[in-house]
Chains A and B, each alone.
Chain A
């Protein structure tokens, strides 16, 4: 058959796109929550869920999971040579009273830690005496999708590598999505069981830190502009707060109202110390600008220094 270049290019593009999206559906699924256009988000979600159904029907899920683990292993190979397994002496219970210098601080979380609030917190903590800071923020991650990025495994590695005694944790922006529990049952966001499953994951994460003598400052999410996100963030905050208050090694910071107006509403602009209104939120209505991050930082640091004896470098 003699096809024109035009027909050939159309065939190649369609087949390659379909095959790649089939093969890589898991990777695309994680990014769906970030699509702002609701029609596109629904269409993509529908398309990817159909692919996942086909994979299940054909019994290919286990193959794709193994294949993904292989690539993750390969990509982390040089790092894994560096790590050496060490047993950590368990001395519990841990509380802020047991933390001594040097302060090895770990800051972990999602995009808030990668680029929005994280760098500002890191700079501030570096200005304290005997304080070492390591920040790891990974976009589009959280606790809902350990198949995509497993924070339990990551925190274990970071603990071995950095030996922290304090951690600042901030998650949630990507977590308002379906979860699959240990029985392989998919729990849709909004179902009663969802918060229980999510809470279990947060608790497991905190337990790893607790077992390794790390005190945690858990930062909640600030109010968001769009109701779609705001409702999810508020719900996730309630889970973090609930789990945290049952733990000796965790202190929860509620920053919801820190970036809200006096009427507890969202505003992109907030007053500074002189009463001048300045842009506090990024254009997505979720993240913070440098000014917004400074507002959060001020409140958080004020509470932290009440608990930990941080001293400024002269």
Chain B
């Protein structure tokens, strides 16, 4: 399993292997010392060291290029040659995800929630290839139980796993790629050259793209892991049906939300230290989530707005009556549109670009521009998919269950070919690969 995962990772860039190996070995040694000593201070020291180094690795690779130019200018101003900083650091794909897995393992060993594992098992956990690049973030305790149970020997629900892969492919190739290539990229790069209506459509289109791109990847990762005998947690649960921001984060990138809750929000005090502190903890957690996602200031803005919206949701939940249908519909409508609006900051190349998009959205004298009919149809179909995703999955599973192996191969082949045919010629890379 480790060989397959490393081989898979090496196909992206062989240099990345060295880093993942070093992260694995460092976390193994650190947790070995945590387990070995009973002295509380030493245990804390080792945990702090592990988390510190893991975070440092992440920050270095993620932020080096972002800060390089500022440092360059500063060093020049104080009279130092900046040539030493002329180094371009490539962010190793999947680093943000495997660092989170490594940290959660070390913290769980420290808290004695899981026993110390041997190096090989830990290295497999950190580099487990279906989830290496963009999650879902499977917890150590859930992974090791399955690894020890034999993984691939116990494949269940073959049809369900194939269905997840098909749905993931459809979301990525047909919906996300088409909308990215045909509206989102053009409008978000130069919003000034598009009409108000097209900018509005592009904002909704991006909300669909990011969901289909990321949940499509998650579906495929869960499906492939399932074919290897590993059950993974769900990463999405119809997030655009959320009735407030708290609900949204319970449904969006669930494994990251849970990770942030367990390893940041709760250690900060969670909701146990009074109202004011709870709100502060929420803001801090969202802020860290923003920094984890990207390096531009626009991600900070995005996370601050989400933090504020979470506080409002929490506050609203405490003072308002729940269960009124009309109120829920209104709340859903506001949440959906607020989430879509905030995606502008997430997709924009920088803060200026985000403001340009917003400005164009309210530019009543903007150009008249024809609209591609396919885009409107696809946006409409996507919203239907969000509502009926579970039902579609069940239909596909029940069809496969009635088929012989031979017929199943024909059925799957036809659907995969149809998906490729319906998609655009170019399939852009997964958005979350850059995180």
* Residues in chain A within 8 A of chain B (CB atoms): 3-6, 8-9, 11-13, 15-16, 19-20, 23-24, 27, 30, 37, 40, 71, 75, 78-79, 82, 114-115, 119, 122-123, 126, 133-135, 138-141, 148-149, 268-269, 276-279, 283
CB of B79 closer than 8 Å to a CB of A:
no
The CA of A277 and the CA of B75, in the complex, are separated in Å by 12
Partner of B88, one of A3, A12, A13, A279: A279
Q: Name the residue in B65, B83, B370, B413 with the highest tally of chain A Cβ atoms < 10 Å from its Cβ.
A: B413
By size class, the interface of chain B is 35 or more
B residues in contact with A141, CB < 8 Å: 425
Q: Which of B71-95 contact A (CB under 8 A)?
A: 72-73, 76, 82-83, 86, 88, 90
Return the 8 tightest CB-CB contacts between A and B, nearest first. A119-B189, A5-B155, A78-B373, A139-B426, A9-B227, A19-B413, A5-B158, A122-B190
Q: Which of B357-378 contact A (CB under 8 A)?
A: 370, 372-374
Partner of B185, one of A114, A122, A269: A114
CB of B408 closer than 8 Å to a CB of A:
yes
A residues in contact with B311, CB < 8 Å: none
B residues in contact with A114, CB < 8 Å: 185
What does DSSP make chain A's interface, helix, strand, loop or mixed?
helix
A residues in contact with B152, CB < 8 Å: 6
* Seed contacts A40-B11, A126-B190, A138-B426; 10 additional CB < 8 Å A-B pairs: A19-B409, A24-B417, A71-B421, A122-B193, A126-B192, A140-B425, A276-B73, A277-B83, A277-B86, A279-B69
28 contacts between A and B (CB under 8 A): A5-B155, A5-B156, A6-B152, A6-B153, A6-B229, A9-B158, A11-B405, A12-B162, A12-B405, A12-B412, A13-B227, A15-B409, A16-B412, A20-B416, A24-B417, A37-B11, A78-B374, A115-B185, A119-B190, A123-B192, A126-B190, A135-B190, A141-B425, A268-B88, A276-B72, A276-B73, A277-B83, A279-B69
The CA of A203 and the CA of B11, in the complex, are separated in Å by 39
* Residues in chain B within 8 A of chain A (CB atoms): 11, 65, 68-69, 72-73, 76, 82-83, 86, 88, 90, 152-153, 155-156, 158, 161-162, 181, 185-186, 189-190, 192-193, 227, 229, 370, 372-374, 405, 408-409, 412-413, 416-417, 420-422, 425-426, 428
Q: Name the residue in B68, B156, B186, B412 with the highest tally of chain A Cβ atoms < 10 Å from its Cβ.
A: B186
A residues in contact with B428, CB < 8 Å: 139
- CB of A82 within 8 A of CB of B158, answer no
The CA of A54 and the CA of B76, in the complex, are separated in Å by 62
- CB of B153 within 8 A of CB of A278, answer no
With A6-B152, A16-B412, A16-B413 as given contacts, are A148 and B405 in contact (CB-CB < 8 Å)? no
A242 → chain B closest CB, angstroms: 29
